[in-house]
Structure 1
Amino acid sequence: MLKQILFFLFSFLLISCVGDFEEKKLLGYSDKNGKLHFEIIEKDFNKNDSLNFSEKRFVVLDSQNRIINKNNSQFLFYGNQNRLQEIRSVYRRGGKTNIVVYKYLYDEKQNLRLITFQFKKVDTIQTFKYNNLNQLIQKDFPYRKFSVNYKYKNGEISETKELENGSVSKHFTFIYDNKGNKSIEEWIFNEDQKLITYFKYDFENRLISKRDSSLTTFGNLNECVDFLDKFYYDKNDSLIEKRQYDRVLSERDFKYRGKITYEYKKL
C-alpha cells in the first residue's frame, strides 16, 4: 500500500514538473540563440496627456534578426527559408506550468497549409487553400465555422469575404496606390453598415495616418463617425508615437483624444 502511495505521489510530482522542465529548456534555447534583447515600453495618455497606464514587454532576436522570444512566454522556432515552424507558449494555471504548441505546416511549394494546436491532443485550428499562382484564396477556422475568401487583381488582394456558418458577415474591398501600398479599405457588415479606411504614407512608404470613416448619416449627433490615427517614427524607422483623434457627426474638425508612445531599450 505504501509503495502505491509513493508511486502515485512520484507520478503526480513528475507530471506537475514537466511544464517547468520544458520552460527551462525554452529559456535555455533563448539564452543560447539570442543576440539582441529589447525592452519595449508602451504608455497610454488621455486627451490631457495624463498617463492612463504603462506596459513593459521585451523581445529577443537571433543572429538573423528573427524574434525567438516574447516576454519569456512565447518562443518561436524557424525552419527552411526562415519559415516559422513552431510557437511554444507558456502559461500557468493553478500553480502548474503548461506548454501549448502551435505548429505551422507547409507544402512542397512552401505555402502554409495547416496550423495545429497541441495541448494534451492535437487539433487543426487553421487551413489554407491556394490557386495555381500560389495566391491564398481561402483560410478556414474549422472549430469556429469561420472562413475568409480572397480575390486578386493585378497581383494584389482586391476583395475579401468573411463567412460565419456559411453566411457572409463582412465584405472588404481594397484599392492600392502606385507603390503598391493599400490606400483605401472599404468594408460592409451587418448588410447595410459601411466603413471606409484611408491610409497615407510618407516618401519612405511608412504609414503616417489611418482614418476610419463611418458612412452613417443618421443617429446621435454626438456619436463618433470618424477616427484618425497619426503615426510618428524615429531615425531607425521605429514607431515612437501614435496620436488619436475623432470627430462626431455634428462636428467638422477632429479633436485630439490621446496618444500612445513607444520606447525601445537595448538590454
Structure 2
Amino acid sequence: MLLLAALGTDTRIWDGVAARLAGGTALLRIEHPGHGGAPTEDARSVAQLAARVLRTLDDAGIASAHVAGVSLGAAVALALAADHPGRVRSLTLAHTALRFGDPALWDRRIETARRDGLAPLVEGTLARWLTPGEATADPGRADGLRAMFIATDREAYARCCEAVRDFDGEALPARVRAPTLLVAGDADLATPPAQMLALQQALPRAQLLRLPGAHLGLLAAPGAVAGALQALIDEGDHLWTTT
C-alpha cells in the first residue's frame, strides 16, 4: 500500500490507520517534496507530483499498489489512477476535491509562505485540520501537527500550493477503474462533504465513508478508516487476480 499525505503534513498522519491494517500489508510512504524530510524538488503541479510517485514505484520495482492519499495526496493518487490504471489496485481518497477553492486564497498563502515562512499560517491551518473539540481533547495531536507543518520547507510548500491552486480534476474520475473509498469529514470546511459526494457521483466504483471530523478527520477515527480500507484492499486484490 502506497501512502500519500496532505499539504503541510507527512505520512505519519496515516500511522493510526496503518497500525490497524492486516499484518501482511506492506507499506510504502512517499512524502511530497520538502515534506517529512524529503528533498525539495521543482514540482509545481499535481501531474508532476504524480509522475514523481510513478518514478518511485518504478525504481522500487513495484508493478501495482493500493494507493491512499489525503487532500493534495489524494489528488495525486487520483491523477495516478486515471493516467496509469494498470498500476493501481484500489484507490482511497480522503478529504479532497476535484478543485480546491479560490485561486486568490492560494496566491495569498503562497506569498506569505515565501515572504514570511510558515509560522504565520500555522494556526489558521490547524483550525481547518481539526475541530475545536478535537484540538481540545487531544492537545498532543495539535502540537504534533503544528511541528509537522512548521518543519515543512517553505519553498516546497509554496510550490505544492501552486499545484493545489491549479488542480482541475474534473476529467479524471471517468478514467479511474480501481475500486475506490472516499473519506469525508462532516465538519471539513476545506473540502466539504458536498464536494466528496460530487466526487462519489463522478467515480464509477466509489463508496463514501463520512466521519464527524474536519479536514484531517481520519486522525480521530483510524479504526473506522482502517476497517473500510482493509475491505477495499481485499476487494482490489480479488479483482486484480481474477481479471
Tell me if TM exceeds 0.5: no
Q: Report the structure number with the largest CA radius of gyration.
A: 1
Higher strand fraction (1 or 2): 1
Structure with the bigger percentage of helix: 2
TM bracket (short chain)? under 0.3
TM-score, scaled to structure 2? 0.21
TM-score under structure 1 normalisation? Answer: 0.20
